[in-house]
Structure 1
């Protein structure tokens, strides 16, 4: 490791190379494609007895994932820097909420969770191994070094991410995962590692859902305007659960919507899980959510789901007057990746000549 310095907790490590959103995958013989994993980005360092895990924002992660530290300590090679993603299988799915639960100050809780729901590490780049500093080497060489690294070890919870040079194969991964993958990342084979730069390309899943408008919040700082629509889906018991919101409404529509929504104000709106508290930026007016009769349906675009909730705000695509509210059910949401699907995807990671 000539130019890579092992990071102390109070010293910077290295910023991960990142990707920019694209509408279509770049094509050609110079590109390689990989799944975009929905976990915690992590750069793992080892230099002898010193092992560190650093997040995308260069925060130490080791204390939250002691089982990963212990796993990396068992590898015969004692010097390496790996770029990858932390994931946690829980039951029949990979759970992002289980990852978030690890970021807790209580050591006792971290110890318990690391035993109950141990994490796994999916690697997709190698910045250094042994005495070889690979950060300025082309990605094709770094990937070859990563595959050679994995060829010498057999640890169930340390994975090599699959790759392909076929756009069709990459798109098949998305289809086979049933919408559970977050997307596809494209990398140039001749590209050196560029810390902190968005020099890769990522194509995200385009997922949509038809949701009942079960309530709304008034806009903060505006006398007469809608701030956000509160979205609901019916669960298996026939109750309307709050699943998220959409706030990407233009200024004119925010005002015009009042005439449509206020006559529909009627409790309870949500008969299952109801909206929680507002954000810390909300005013007293915008903090109050108004329940609506369940008559309106909207189609929204979303990216990720955790515990049957949209993880981020959604994009309003259109109103659906043709859609019956009772048909807006939880089953339409993209489920999280199942461990058996992860195993099938990872089985594609071996071999020096991807198709």
Structure 2
């Protein structure tokens, strides 16, 4: 199998959960989308941005331990649990964003991960993307051997009930899929839909504020259609621990500039430092205000993403 990695089928956002016998719903885990490519000899892992993650998740490479077939392409999500026992994007990014791969064995103990598999696109030397989802799910049950860290994502017929459970558990959301849908490689359409329990974006830091010499908040922006950086809010709360704030302080020092990079004036700019827009971060928030500012933004994790991709949708 000599297959070039591809962008996985992406769901579109929805506010209404579709109903009917052809629809199933699955938990949307707060993790990292990972496709596993195995040709029977080598196993390689890629995320949805086509960045290789083979060395980040070595526990997924022993594919014989959880898959009966040698040549497969599996689609799923790698998750890590936080202190509250729930999937945490911040924790999984400690693995996904690691820069020194020699630390991976140490981090395997600190941040164990699980692989939540929900689709199979290639199997037994044949493409399966033209099969209906219901047939791909049947095939998945035949070939996957679940264990403590490998699971098949369960499907539910009642999306509204599942979403209520998701809200009670404060999880990310659900994905609603048409059982008759083929797998659309390198694309997205409404045969797969996602409903979020909360909203999130990837923003770029154009500034920061400090307290006693340590960064305590980031000043965030998104690029408009003209490619100009617009201020959208401050985020000083979230998942970061004291050591991570100190690490961030060292990281921003080489990026300091003497002018504001935003085209609109940020709020609370007294004692702000301005940064070259290079650091990207996942932000959880409640809603947009009329002024196009984020309401109650909180930092979830830093991500490896080009700043130019941080756009207003």
Interval containing the TM-score (normalised by the shorter chain): 0.5 to 0.7
Aligned partner of 1:128 in structure 2 is: 122
1:195-210 equivalences in 2 (<5 Å): 195-199=185-189, 200-206=192-198
Aligned partner of 1:106 in structure 2 is: 100
Are the equivalent residues in 1 in contact too, given 2:146–2:152 (CA < 8 A)? no
In 1, distance between residues paired with 2:233 and 2:5? 41
1:78-89 equivalences in 2 (<5 Å): 78-89=70-81
Where 1:38 maps in the other structure, the secondary structure is: coil
The 3 A distance-change label for structure 1 pair 162 and 154 is closer
1:165-192 alpha-carbon deviations (Å, 9 max, x no partner): 2123322331342x22x21111111111
1:140 aligns to 2:134 (yes or no): yes
1:70-105 alpha-carbon deviations (Å, 9 max, x no partner): 3x2423432221100011124433332232222333
Deviation of residue 44 (structure 1)? 0.8
The 3 A distance-change label for structure 1 pair 194 and 207 is closer
The 3 A distance-change label for structure 1 pair 285 and 133 is closer
- Which among 27, 30, 42 is matched to residue 35 of structure 1? 27
**Greater strand share, structure number:** 2
Deviation of residue 278 (structure 1)? 10
In 2, distance between residues paired with 1:13 and 1:185? 23
Are the equivalent residues in 1 in contact too, given 2:167–2:197 (CA < 8 A)? no
Deviation of residue 215 (structure 1)? 9.2
Aligned partner of 1:299 in structure 2 is: none
Unpaired segments of 5 or more residues in structure 2?
A: 201-215, 223-229, 239-244, 272-280, 301-313
In 2, distance between residues paired with 1:16 and 1:219? 28
1:308-319 equivalences in 2 (<5 Å): 311=283, 315-317=287-289
**Greater helix share, structure number:** 1
Where 2:61 maps in the other structure, the secondary structure is: helix
The count of corresponding residues between Structure 1 and Structure 2 is 249
In 2, distance between residues paired with 1:194 and 1:216? 37
Unpaired segments of 5 or more residues in structure 1?
A: 209-213, 221-225, 232-241, 245-272, 293-308, 320-329, 336-355
1:95 aligns to 2:99 (yes or no): no
Deviation of residue 62 (structure 1)? 0.7
In 1, distance between residues paired with 2:167 and 2:194? 16
Where 1:145 maps in the other structure, the secondary structure is: helix
The 3 A distance-change label for structure 1 pair 279 and 136 is farther
1:279-330 alpha-carbon deviations (Å, 9 max, x no partner): 96976246995359xxxxxxxxxxxxxxxx97257644479xxxxxxxxxx9
CA RMSD of aligned residues (A): 4.1
TM-score (norm 2): 0.66
In 2, distance between residues paired with 1:120 and 1:91? 15
Are the equivalent residues in 1 in contact too, given 2:199–2:284 (CA < 8 A)? no
Where 1:42 maps in the other structure, the secondary structure is: strand
Are the equivalent residues in 2 in contact too, given 1:51–1:73 (CA < 8 A)? no
Aligned partner of 1:187 in structure 2 is: 177
Rg: which structure is higher?
Answer: 1
- Which among 228, 231, 234 is matched to residue 230 of structure 1? 234
Deviation of residue 217 (structure 1)? 6.7
TM-score (norm 1): 0.59
1:214-267 alpha-carbon deviations (Å, 9 max, x no partner): 9997999xxxxx945435xxxxxxxxxx228xxxxxxxxxxxxxxxxxxxxxxx
